[in-house]
Amino acid sequence: MVPSPETILSCLCLNIVSLIVASGGRSEGDDDGEVVKRCIEGDPESFNELVEKYYRKIYNLAYRFVGDSEEANDLAQEIFTAAFQNLDKFRGDAKFSTWLFQIATNRGKNKFKYLKRRGYFVNRGQSDTDDERDYLQKAVPDHSTNPEDLLAGKQIQKVVQDAINELDPDHKEIVILRDIEGFSYEEIAKILNLPEGTTKSRLHRARMVVKEKLKKVLS
């Protein structure tokens, strides 16, 4: 039995704790200052510590924007390169992780716009590699062992991802940050440089758009 759009949306929007547990938790980055300082003072090798610490999270975010493992890997490398080249601009008035995700979100949104203009997402089938399936399962967790339920779960995951891919960039980024990555409203407001009230209202609109898209597909 296929769940209703409301049920799917609830899984997407309310499963923040499960997402954090599944990913091992998001580091708050409070201890990054010393590493950043070493990098700026002439020890570029220290930056590898930050890459190792945040790569999976940045790759995950990149994959959500582009929907392809190779493109996501290239985008993640681009994000870390940009961060390294601009490290001297990091003022320390926010956590390094917040600053890094600002770069990642901006680059991800721009890449998404670029690919969308070129019809990259039109009629594009979702591949089924282990890594990509793992990231899709984070959106709509599926703990069933029934083969038929697992198949239905994969189909639903694809429907949800396709619906997110059809969002405009401003809505897409906020759904990714809140409902996929599990950032708080306060963190998202800092990452996107938006008032917290605007963050909440934009997320509400984005969720409603996803809900309507799901209704059309699943009705």
**Mind listing the pLDDT tens digit for each residue in 144-203?**
455 455 445 667 777 777 888 888 999 999 999 998 888 999 999 999 999 999 999 999
Tell me how far apart the alpha carbons of residues 79 and 161 are, in angstroms, rounded to a whole number: 22
The Cα 115–Cα 107 span in angstroms is 12
pLDDT of residue 23: 40
What's the Cα-to-Cα distance from 143 to each of 4, 104, 138, rounded to whole Å? 18, 30, 11
Please give the single-letter amino acid code of residue 36.
Answer: V
Q: What percent of the chain has pLDDT over 90?
A: 41
> How many CB atoms lie under 10 A from the CB of residue 89?
8
Is the confidence at residue 24, as pLDDT, over 50? Answer: no
pLDDT the model gives residue 86: 94
CA angle 75, 80, 82 (to 5 degrees): 90
> What per-residue confidence (pLDDT) applies to 163?
83
Question: What are the φ and ψ backbone dihedral angles of 9, each rounded to 5 degrees?
Answer: -65, -35
C-beta of residue 192 within 8 angstroms of C-beta of residue 61: no
CATH code of the region 5-218? 1.10.1740.10
Give me the residue spans of the domains in the chain: 5-218
Could you give the residue ranges of the DSSP H alpha helices within the chain?
A: 5-14, 16-22, 33-40, 47-66, 69-85, 96-117, 130-139, 147-165, 169-175, 185-192, 196-218
The per-residue pLDDT for range 67-83, each reduced to its tens digit, is: 888 999 999 999 999 99
CA distance 36 to 159: 40
The span from the CA of 181 to the CA of 97, in Å, is: 13
